[in-house]
Structures are given as C-alpha cells and as structure tokens.
Amino acid sequence: MEQGRMSKPRDVAHFPLYAFKPVFTVSAMKRLLFMCALLTCVSPCAWAATYEETFTAKAHKAYNEDINVWVYTSAFAKRFGMPKQWTDNRLKGAYAVACRVERSSARLMFPHKGANVSMAQRDCILDAYVPSDANIPWIGRQIADQWWYTPESPTYLVPQTPEDQTWHQRAVGLPYWGGVVQFGTGDEHLGGFPIREYDKQLYPQVMYISFSFGCTTPPKTASWIEFHDYTPCKSPKAMWHFRTLRATHRIEIPGSFMKRLYNNWYERSRRPSRAASVEEYSSRELRRSSHSVR
C-alpha cells in the first residue's frame, strides 16, 4: 500500500454501493407522500372536540360551565361544533347571539344607608357575532378594545391629569351616547346598548361585539338590534342633540330565543321573571343585604 493512501474497510469494500437495492419503489414513495399529505389535512378536523365533548359532562373531566343562553345559525353551529338544539336560522344579521348574567365578587357599598350595607353587583351582557363585512359605524381603525368593569383593577384607577381623563372617557369602538346601538321589539324602542368590548378579527369573517344591556326583564317576543350612523345636523329640533341617525346594520333575534331567555331569567339573575324595575329589585336586595349583616 502506498503511503498516504487509506484503504476501505474490508466489509465495505466487498459490498459496492450499486449492490444495495432501494427498499421502496417510486410508486410506493408516491403513495406514502400522498397519505402523509392527507393525514395533515384531515387530522386537525378529526382531533377537534365539539362543544358537548368540551363543556358538558360528556367530556368526562373537569370543564368550564357555560352560563350563556345561545342562538345561532346552522352554519355557525357546524363551524364551531355547537349543539343543534340552539340553532335557529331565523336569526338575521348575525351568526350568533349569546346572553348571560355576570356576578362580581366586589359588592356595591352604601355608607349613607348604614355601616356594612351593601348589594351584590351584576352585569347583564349580550354578545353578537357579526359578519366582518357588516356596515358597523366604527370610529378609528383599532382591531380590538374594551371598557374595564369591577372588579378588574383598572376600574380603581382615578386619572388626575387632563390627558388621562380624556383618554379614560374616550369612546370604545362606537360613540358612547344613546342611540348608536338601539334595542327594541316590533315598533318599540327599549333603549340603547353601551359597548363593553369588541374584536374585529375574532375569527376569519367573524366580528365579536359585546354590550351591556341592563338587568331588566327581557321581552318574550322577537327583538332587534340596530346600529346607527350619525351625521351633524344644524336643526336645533333634531334628535340626539343636533344629530340625525341612519340605521346601517340590523340584527333580528327570533322570538324562540327571547322566550328561552325570558324563561331562564329567574335562574340567571336570581329574581322573578315577572316585570320588575331595577329600583324594585335593588331595594329588595338592599334590604336583604342589610338584614344579613345585622
């Protein structure tokens, strides 16, 4: 052997590369690649659990209780694995609507009524899932924003400078004044909805808008939500303080959902379903709270 040259090991030298035959043929490799691509497309759908498999006892594990009362279209139910029993294609202008009563761990205090007199706080909320191309009169181009509510810590920040005060009083998503978002049934206007939060890109082609609608007994008939645009008006007799309103989008909520919401009201808000004013309920709750601390 010449110096500086290395010889191949005997076991390799006696088996040249051309002696090894491929295990897979070209057609077998193509079939394997096709199956991998098919599994990549199908597996996410096959692995996704439905609503009932995630948020009910069918999960066979701990799950988050859903306190919302739902209504949605069949397309929305299919897309997000929702139960069929809450489907109603008479819902128009929105993919879904959900209502709930949220209770705060922080109580409303009444020091002028006596020591330790307080009342439980709650907020009644309506969420709307609206098509992204709906004509909503947004202000600004911000994708998402929210108001802070008790007991979230930003609620307790009291701005001391004019700049912070202006920012704190800013409109979130929609102008904050009566009339921009109206709720009613038939020809009757029942009031305006202040916005809580929104996300214009919750899902592709789906916007999420959440409102506080007041903890009063809901109607049992088909209802509607209208979004209104506003333009300056010079007439002093114009409504809404020199503004004229124009409906830009309308959500029609079927009566079947409103009846279900009404029937669930006692359980959700812990008060009778009969029509009762907020003042009546507040006074009863106040008396109950004052008696409990004596």
Has residue 3 been placed in a domain?
no
Three-state SS annotation for 120-145: CCEEEEEEEEEECCCCCCCCCCCCEE
Is the pLDDT reported for residue 222 higher than 90?
yes
Which stretch of 136-145, 218-227, 230-239 has the lowest confidence by average pLDDT? 230-239
Phi, psi of 128 (to 5 degrees): -120, 130
- The pair of structure tokens assigned to 208 is 């999420």
C-alpha distance from residue 147 to each of 172, 180, 292 (Å) = 7, 17, 32
Q: Which of 24-33, 64-73, 169-178, 278-287 has the highest mean pLDDT?
A: 64-73
Using an 8 Å Cβ cutoff, are 121 and 108 in contact?
yes
Residue 133 lies in a domain: yes
- Here the tokens at position 8 are 């191949």
Output the six-digit token pair for 226.
């209208």
Using pLDDT thresholds of 50, 70 and 90, give the confidence band for residue 204. very high
The verdict on residue 239 lying in a domain is: no
Give the whole-angstrom CA distance, residue 216 versus residue 225: 16
Q: pLDDT per residue over 233-264, tens digit each?
A: 555 554 444 355 678 999 999 999 999 998 87
* Residue 150 within a domain: yes
Q: Tokens representing 246?
A: 């124009």
Cβ atoms of 193 and 225 within 8 Å: the answer is: yes
Residue 223 to residue 34: CA distance in whole angstroms? 51
Asked if the structure places residue 8 within a domain, the reply is no
Structure tokens at 158: 């009291």
Structural domain total, the chain: 1
- pLDDT value at position 105? 79
Q: What is the pLDDT of residue 116?
A: 83
Query: For the ranges 39-48, 77-86, 239-248, 262-271, which has the lowest average pLDDT?
Result: 39-48
Residue 23 lies in a domain: no
> Does any domain span residue 82?
yes
> What are 4-18's pLDDT values in tens digits?
554 444 444 444 544
Predicted model pTM:
0.72
The 10s digit of each residue's pLDDT in 51-82 is: 999 999 988 889 898 989 999 999 999 999 99
**Range(s) of the domain holding residue 188:** 63-223+250-292
Query: What's the pLDDT score for residue 174?
Result: 84
Identify which has the larger pLDDT, 253 or 177: 253
End-to-end CA distance of the chain: 108
Decide if 207 is inside a domain: yes
Q: How far apart are CA 173 and CA 286, in angstroms?
A: 35
